[in-house]
Amino acid sequence: MCCAFCPRLSLPTNRLTSSWRRPPKSSLRSMNTFPLTDAIPAHEEIERPSSIGETMFIRHWQPEGETRGSAVLAHGVFEHSGRYHHVAERFTRRGYQVWAPDHYGHGRSAGPRGYIQHPNHFIDDLRLVVELATMATGCKPILLGHSMGGTIAALYAIRQQETLRALVLSSPALRIHASDCVIAIGRIASDIIPAAPMPSGLSQPATHNQAWEAWKASDALRHNRLTFRTARFIVDAGEEARAQAHTLGIPVLLLVAGEDTYVDKRGAHEFFARLPANTGELHEYAGFYHEIFNEVERETPLSDLDAWLEKLDRGARRG
């Protein structure tokens, strides 16, 4: 039996907002506390066969009370689903069950670090998790993706939106900081040496939060390996997602970092501009670096996520 939150909600209009003014740099430097223990642990850790039959590790969170919906979280490059406890909590306290896989070649899932076996590998694996969430709850999930996970989520939604209730993109890698010449050379390299590592150019801090950055450096599941094939997937998937954004008919929320050195925020704005009317909402956070959910002012985007979920749920209750 489907939950009460499955009907699709049409938001009033595509909305573009700027939600935060950057504090002085001295203020940002002093706001270094990050409560690494304030998030709920996963209720279940699952190992399932991936789309190619290798181990896919999935974290699963459940609400304390009745299940009212489902969500799937897709993490970014180099990281893993264990970094999203505090994001999962925003869903579980609303009655959602949450599933978050470690992508192939990441975290506790199988595979060479930073590599995929074929261009649709991430999409095929994500489909299995969406199916798992749907079968377990009877509800189409809300799909949330960050960075590379945002690109995966956007492309999955465009190709299989009938399996989703809504889409959330956090600093999505829909466009990268690279010239056309560099991208062309990378595509050639991905055909010749797909498994070879390439420089990522991602050496800058992803947040102003020094405590979080220090914790990341000690994270045993983190890696920094990016192969040519995976980089090509990110570029090609971003292009396809931007080009096909007009085909989406589900609610979409974009949360964009204002000073993102990891991805080019213009990609998110182009995607948003091509969405059909009454489907999209975009918030840009001036002064934020790439990992908006781990910034010193992370409560701002998390609160915007909460507010959007409330609108979604309220519309479903009315429907």
Residue 22: which CATH number?
3.40.50.1820
CA atoms within 13 A on the CB side of 147: 20
- Residue 20 is predicted with a pLDDT of 39
Is residue 112 situated within a structural domain?
yes
Is residue 247 situated within a structural domain?
yes
The two tokens of residue 212 are 């979080």
The stretches in the chain having pLDDT less than 70 are 1-42, 200-202, 316-319
Is residue 8 situated within a structural domain?
no
Is residue 4 situated within a structural domain?
no
- Structural domain that includes position 219: 15-318
Number of domains in the chain: 1
Is residue 10 situated within a structural domain?
no
Is residue 300 situated within a structural domain?
yes
- Residue 21 is predicted with a pLDDT of 37
Is residue 9 situated within a structural domain?
no
Is the CA virtual torsion 172, 2, 65, 281 positive or negative? positive
* Closest among 130, 136, 129, 128 to 67, alpha carbons compared: 136
* Tens of pLDDT, residues 309-319: 999 988 766 65
User: What is the rounded distance in angstroms from the CA atom of residue 259 to the CA atom of residue 288?
Assistant: 6
Is residue 267 situated within a structural domain?
yes
- Residue 224 is predicted with a pLDDT of 84
Distance of CA 164 to the CA centre of its chain: 15
User: What is the rounded distance in angstroms from the CA atom of residue 90 to the CA atom of residue 62?
Assistant: 11
